[in-house]
Structure formats: structure tokens, C-alpha cells
Amino acid sequence: MIRVVVTGSECTGKTTLAEALADHYRANWVPEYARQFVLEKGSAPAFEDVETIARGQIALEDEAIAYAPDMLIQDTDLLSTVVYSRHYYGDCPGWIEATLLRRAPDLYILAGIDVPWVPDGDQRDRGDRREEMQGLFRRALTVRGVRFVEIHGNLDERQRAASSAIDALLTR
């Protein structure tokens, strides 16, 4: 099975792109657990929520993997948990990083920040620091030596670039 994860800073169209790619490839997709968690909690997450968020993301992924014979498209993974935990709280539980390394996807698609930022309550709060956050994601991907492609433009341009990278995976 091929796993593709759309990742990057907040408000970069990850969910929209992940859904479009899943539709295009007729693949299962995994939503972002942290979004659901924050909605249910009714406030921004705290450091003590990081492990719950990580476990919830893993559970969503494992459930989708059971029903995804060929391909899985994910709207984020544990990489986001690690990046945001370190950024907001200065730390991340070690087991999350170790689990991330064991669960590395075949491809990360790093969504660029060249789309408008839209505030969303407790979900998005750093529109003025998008460059910084994007740099943290780019560095996290580079340090881990995982395959990734950074995409930019409107949804159609992003979908074409992401599809091209996925197609290259399918033909290797």
C-alpha cells in the first residue's frame, strides 16, 4: 500500500487537497484528528493533550489502513504533532517521535503558504508566523530524510503537482 501525507503550516489547504487527491485516486483518506479534538474540547490544546492527539491520529490511520488496499491519503500525521508540540510547548513525548519514524509514509506533500490565511478560532492562531511554521515543517522533513515535494499555487495547480509526485511513486 502507498501512503501519502499532506502536511504543512496551518491554513494551507491541506484538508481540501487531501480530499481532492483521495477522490482522484479513489483512495481512502484520513482526516486530521487534532481538528476533531479541538472542536470537541472547545479550546486550544495544551501540552497534556499532545499524547491524546497522537493516539487519536494513530487510531484514525490504523482504521483507514485496514480498509485501504492500494493507497491512503492522509490530512496530516504525527509529524504535525511533533512540530506543533515542540513549537508551542518546547517538548514532545519521545514515543511520538519514535512512532513517527516507524510510520513514515511513502511521500509527504508540503502545502505552501501562498494561499490566504483565514482565522479559525482555536484551530488557527499564527497567521503572522506562517513563514516560521513552514520553515519548521520543511526542516522536520529534511532532517528525517523522508521523500517530500513542496507545492504551491491554487487548488488545481497544487493538485496537478501533487498528482505528478504521486504518479511518479506509482510508476517506480
The arithmetic mean of pLDDT across residues 55-77, rounded, is 93
Does residue 103 contact residue 60 with C-beta atoms inside 8 Å?
no
Find the radius of gyration of the CA atoms of the chain: 15
Mind listing the domains of the chain with CATH numbers?
Answer: 2-171 (3.40.50.300)
| Mean pLDDT of all residues belonging to the chain | 92
pLDDT for the residue 63: 94
Residue 87 has pLDDT above 70, yes or no: yes
Per-residue pLDDT, averaged over 83-95, amounts to 96
What is the per-residue pLDDT for 115?
Answer: 85
pLDDT tens for 120-162 read 655 545 666 788 999 999 999 999 999 999 999 999 999 999 9
Predicted local confidence at residue 10, as pLDDT: 85
Cβ-based neighbour number of residue 78 at 10 Å: 25
Helix (H) or strand (E) holding 31: none
pTM for the complete prediction? 0.93
Cite the DSSP H helix spans in the chain.
14-25, 33-41, 50-66, 78-89, 94-102, 130-144, 155-171
